[in-house]
Amino acid sequence: MRVTTATYEDALLPHLDAAYNLARWLTRDDRDAEDVVQEAYLRAFKHFAAFKGGDARPWLLAIVRNTFYTWIQRNRVPAEVTPFEEENDTHVSDAPDPEMQLLKETDKQIVRCALRKLPSEYLEVIVLREFEELSYKQIASVIQVPLGTVMSRLARARSRLAELIPKCRRPS
């Protein structure tokens, strides 16, 4: 495959949001996520000749994941956790009921709280499956583990979330 800027852009730029979303959940910080994505896109460009065609999204997300783990080894103490606060939803709801909006926002905050408490190995499979809607096979390719491992990690992650959500509901 002849690498041109156009083929690189056509293959990878449509997945910039997915790359940033994964990096943001993993780093738990906007600026760090930007750094990881920038480095991942540079790596992707450098190794684009190795891309064999097909769905570029899992290939790119694997690079983002690997870049994150390299980045965290260089930039952070492993035990350090930076709080992650997702931007407020600016979408105008069709339902003008303030009580329902408050309940929805409260639910989002509870889920975010629970997600922040998940270990990285569980968080990444949840983000890839539930937010990025990758198939189990694509996730296995991204995180380089057998399909059965993806399935068991997802089951454990969902189970852990079920345990964490009630704890996040209680005031600290």
Closest of 64, 75, 63 to residue 34, by C-alpha:
64
Quick check: helix, strand or coil at residue 150?
helix
Do the beta carbons of residue 141 and residue 55 sit within 8 Å? no
Q: Look at residue 103 in the predicted model and tell me its pLDDT.
A: 64
Q: Look at residue 83 in the predicted model and tell me its pLDDT.
A: 46
What's the chain look like in SS3? Answer: CCCCHHHHHHHHHHHHHHHHHHHHHHHCCHHHHHHHHHHHHHHHHHCHHHCCCCCHHHHHHHHHHHHHHHHHHHHCCCCCCCCCCCCCCCCCCCCCCHHHHHHHHHHHHHHHHHHHCCCHHHHHHHHHHHHCCCCHHHHHHHHCCCHHHHHHHHHHHHHHHHHHHHHHHCCC
Residues of the chain with pLDDT under 50: 1, 78-93, 95
Q: Look at residue 171 in the predicted model and tell me its pLDDT.
A: 62
Domains in the chain: boundaries: 5-75, 98-169
pTM, entire model: 0.72
Letter for the amino acid at 115?
A: L
Q: Look at residue 70 in the predicted model and tell me its pLDDT.
A: 93
Cα 100 to the center of its chain, rounded Å = 28
DSSP output for 31-60: HHHHHHHHHHHHHHHHTGGG--SS-HHHHH
**What topology is assigned to 5-75 in CATH?**
Rna Polymerase Sigma Factor; Chain: A (1.10.1740)
Q: Look at residue 79 in the predicted model and tell me its pLDDT.
A: 47
Q: Look at residue 108 in the predicted model and tell me its pLDDT.
A: 80
Note the CATH number of domain 98-169. 1.10.10.10
Q: Do domains 5-75 and 98-169 have the same CATH topology?
A: no
